[in-house]
Amino acid sequence: MNKKGFTLIEIIVLIIMAGIIIPAIVVPFATGIRGSNKPEMVTTAMYLAHQRMEELMKFDYYGAALTPTDFVAFPTGVANYSGTNEIHYVDNNFNVVGDGLLTNYDRRYKRIIVRVTDPENSTYEIYAVVTNFP
């Protein structure tokens, strides 16, 4: 009897093996697909942070927009992204200097920090220092 085909045992073994192997392949693939929008969120957040930094950097050192302040929210214009910026006087080593401890020499540097938070609550920061040389 030269009948070709599979026995019932072979088919059952194949189904059991497929039930074990397919989830092992699909789960990492699905996880990769789910996280594939992260680079887009990072790019958007960094774009918004740089955009805000450029807005702040165009002002004069003594302008009202660069008045030292703790974190202040700003509108990003993109849903689910929030932004804040902070401006402080810093010394020559870029350490924050309290207003009561400032001398005219210390008032030459202002540090600007811009933070943007994406929809997954990851925060991205950029820093800049502006100066006023006499």
pLDDT digit string (tens) for 93-134? 888 877 655 555 556 788 999 999 999 899 999 999 888 765
State yes or no: pLDDT of 23 exceeds 80: yes
Q: What is the mean pLDDT of residues 46-58?
A: 94
Q: What pLDDT does 1 receive?
A: 60
CA-CA distance, 36 to 14, in Å (whole number)?
33
* Burial letters 124-134, b for 16+ CB under 10 A, else e: beeeeebeeee
Computed over every residue of the chain, the mean pLDDT equals 86
Q: Going by C-beta distance under 8 Å and a sequence separation of 6 or more, which residues neighbour residue 89?
A: 68, 96, 97, 99, 102, 106, 107, 109, 110, 111
Element housing 18 (H / E): helix 8-34
The structural domains of the chain, with segments of one domain joined by +, span: 59-131
Rg (CA), the chain: 28
Q: What pLDDT does 62 receive?
A: 82
- Closest of 104, 102, 94, 93 to residue 134, by C-alpha: 104
- Which of 26-40, 58-72, 96-110, 116-130 bottoms out in mean pLDDT, i.e. has the lowest? 96-110
CA-CA distance, 72 to 87, in Å (whole number)?
9
Q: What pLDDT does 94 receive?
A: 80
Q: What is the mean pLDDT of residues 54-68?
A: 87
3-state secondary structure of 72: strand
Pick 59 or 85 by higher pLDDT. Answer: 85
Q: What pLDDT does 7 receive?
A: 87
Residues of the chain with pLDDT > 90: what percent? Answer: 46
